[in-house]
Structure 1
């Protein structure tokens, strides 16, 4: 059988479908998180720590995803498609709005993880819902107005650099877990994006078994507690 021709990396035009998969799994995780938080009993600090770490990982993944677009996408897109400048400006503003809400969420998590208090639980759940609501509008705009233009103005190598940036931001201990998240949602969407790798099925199983507090993570006494930390420098630039 003849292998399909692959678009040269220097040719203009790229396949942006993976971005939709990333958006889908981020929305799915955020949509389920408030329920996880509210299901934690008041005073159950062990379980609160587990769920808080999960929420923190999702929030960090979202921030890193947006930071990659801020660094590698917007300026280049504006220069190549000037007619898209208004849409790019809207994307920048929406990223800033999401970042503010992520900051509120990250500030609320340590107190809830430490106390599992009712007021702290309510604050965390509400902060997640605020992030999710803001993100929903943003991702719809991006998929409708930005990705079609990127698909015709970027080379595949340029587009792939966003994925490389994303992978560099994932701790090695979580790489297979997050790959499993993506594979699970790629399979659900029927987009044929699951890579033909022997590890693909294992990564998907690992994600299901080990990554989701809603299904399989037991309360873990002694799990490291979240503590307040300074904002990453990249976020300060984003909000400036």
Structure 2
């Protein structure tokens, strides 16, 4: 079977990463979570006292971009690639509500988007790639072999995120998660650079009531019938 690029875009907490991970394992493809790049830079900003994101701190963050090295390394236990910031595995540290509150603001910064997109495009020659994010099919890989766009209701997405954080030991309130989801949707769709849009040739999947296995079945059928 031909190995190709699969782009998975969608709203916050639609399960893009979970689906992309399982799809990459099923196909034996490289998996890249592009959103983790923005979260890693946000984590870097928080750790270096670059909040609130006023002009001074944004300028400082931009100037520090050359000091940020992002790469992915495969977890030998799970088989999934995990993000490293300057040689440190931060996969488990970038999912906090604090990072979530700032990540859309960080992702709005033009210089940071260009920095991240350059890294994303470097994966083009991988032998089979699944990448998820907000603008993979529209900006990063507009010629991707298969483009998917995931959506679900705000309430369903907030509940999923709440359950995920609770299971990981965080103390959070559902209402705060829902508010964060609504705010992120607004920022993602209204930002000037690379706003969240549905690529014209993307397959839209509303997964409000679909399990990951249901979604995998849909995608595998698409691959087998169309590609």
Place the TM-score, normalised by the shorter chain, in its bin. 0.3 to 0.5
Give the number of the structure whose residues are more often strand, by fraction.
2
Q: Higher helix proportion, which one? A: 1
| Higher alpha-carbon Rg | 1
TM-score by length of 2: 0.35
Q: TM-score of the superposition, structure 1-length normalised?
A: 0.34
